[in-house]
Structure 1
């Protein structure tokens, strides 16, 4: 993910993705988080919360070591998805998992110590980047394919495709203009 600042739209959208959380204690008056206005969230309740909220409630400790909740890895980074990425990362439609898949992965890895997941996401990006760069330089083939391939790319990959395509176009124009002089 690019450098993220306070007003970085991609960072805001990444932090708004839902994460499964389990409350470690009962919290009065927070029932509206589960659609139960006026009720309490009971200890052991499982809710999906935006990443930014789950993180705040998970890292802030009350009364020593007690936290409000624990977070789990989201479905986008589940064993099923990770195994599919290990088998063949090019076949996984990352956008269907999460529009900001790599951003979500990076944020979750800030919170979880998952060395294997770091390797898998890194290898996934490397292998898919080669394919993205190739298709960006031969984008006429994408039109004949119907553009379905592009629908599976997450936002980081789409930005890489645009940059690769625009860079290749700029180099071709430069060569053309320099050969005329």
Structure 2
């Protein structure tokens, strides 16, 4: 569980997810651009994850949810197929800046073994490339700059940690040779 003040958690919760209203809600049409109108049953709107989750898990008098959540476009079948084909070529940051955090939140709401498998294999394959780029002295320059642009926030933190540790080991080795 993340901290209340964790900016990454706040930004993850703010990402939009597609929701379908299961009931007509009077006076809520302004969310869909229908000021003063009702939100009709079956209407699909994008809501921030935090709001969509609250409405999806809350129950009304008939004990059915007010809305149903769909997986976000960052986890659409075409994206999963691209990740299965070659996860290193997918620009995760363009899909969602906090891709893995969003995926983890969605997996709390949906049970999807295939999604877990794809995300696990994606992270394994991409982390090997990240480690390689982090240990390359030209990693953040030239070709490495395009690589860094496609990393989500978790991957960027992993890159920084690997890069800083590589630098620290080199400095330590240099100190050993001096001493």
How many residues are matched?
179
Q: 2:165 — aligned with what?
A: 167
Task: Determine the C-alpha separation between the residues in 2 that align with 1:84 and 1:38.
Answer: 42
Question: What is the aligned counterpart of 1:43 among 41, 44, 50?
Answer: 41
> Once the 2 structures are TM-superposed, how far is the Cα of residue 66 of structure 1 from its aligned partner?
1.2
Distance 1:146 1:130, change over 3 A: closer
Report 1:5-16 matches (<5 A).
5-16=3-14
Task: Determine the C-alpha separation between the residues in 2 that align with 1:115 and 1:124.
Answer: 14
Whether 1:155 and 2:156 are equivalent positions in the alignment is no
Q: TM-score, normalised by structure 2?
A: 0.96
Task: Determine the C-alpha separation between the residues in 2 that align with 1:28 and 1:111.
Answer: 27
> Once the 2 structures are TM-superposed, how far is the Cα of residue 32 of structure 1 from its aligned partner?
2.1
Task: Determine the C-alpha separation between the residues in 1 that align with 2:165 and 2:123.
Answer: 19
> Once the 2 structures are TM-superposed, how far is the Cα of residue 142 of structure 1 from its aligned partner?
4.1
Whether 1:112 and 2:110 are equivalent positions in the alignment is yes
Q: 2:125 — aligned with what?
A: 127
Task: Determine the C-alpha separation between the residues in 1 that align with 2:142 and 2:23.
Answer: 56
Q: Which is worse superposed, 36-45 or 119-128? A: 36-45
> Once the 2 structures are TM-superposed, how far is the Cα of residue 177 of structure 1 from its aligned partner?
1.2
SS at match of 2:132: helix
Q: Which is worse superposed, 3-12 or 115-124? A: 3-12
Give me the CA root mean square deviation: 1.2
Task: Determine the C-alpha separation between the residues in 2 that align with 1:51 and 1:173.
Answer: 44
Q: 1:74 — aligned with what?
A: 72
> Once the 2 structures are TM-superposed, how far is the Cα of residue 141 of structure 1 from its aligned partner?
4.5
Q: TM-score, normalised by structure 1?
A: 0.95
Question: What is the aligned counterpart of 1:18 among 4, 10, 16?
Answer: 16
Contact preservation (8 Å) 2:133, 2:144: no
> Unaligned 5+ residue runs, structure 1?
none
Whether 1:178 and 2:164 are equivalent positions in the alignment is no
Contact preservation (8 Å) 2:138, 2:144: no
> Once the 2 structures are TM-superposed, how far is the Cα of residue 33 of structure 1 from its aligned partner?
1.5
Task: Determine the C-alpha separation between the residues in 2 that align with 1:144 and 1:89.
Answer: 21
> Unaligned 5+ residue runs, structure 2?
none
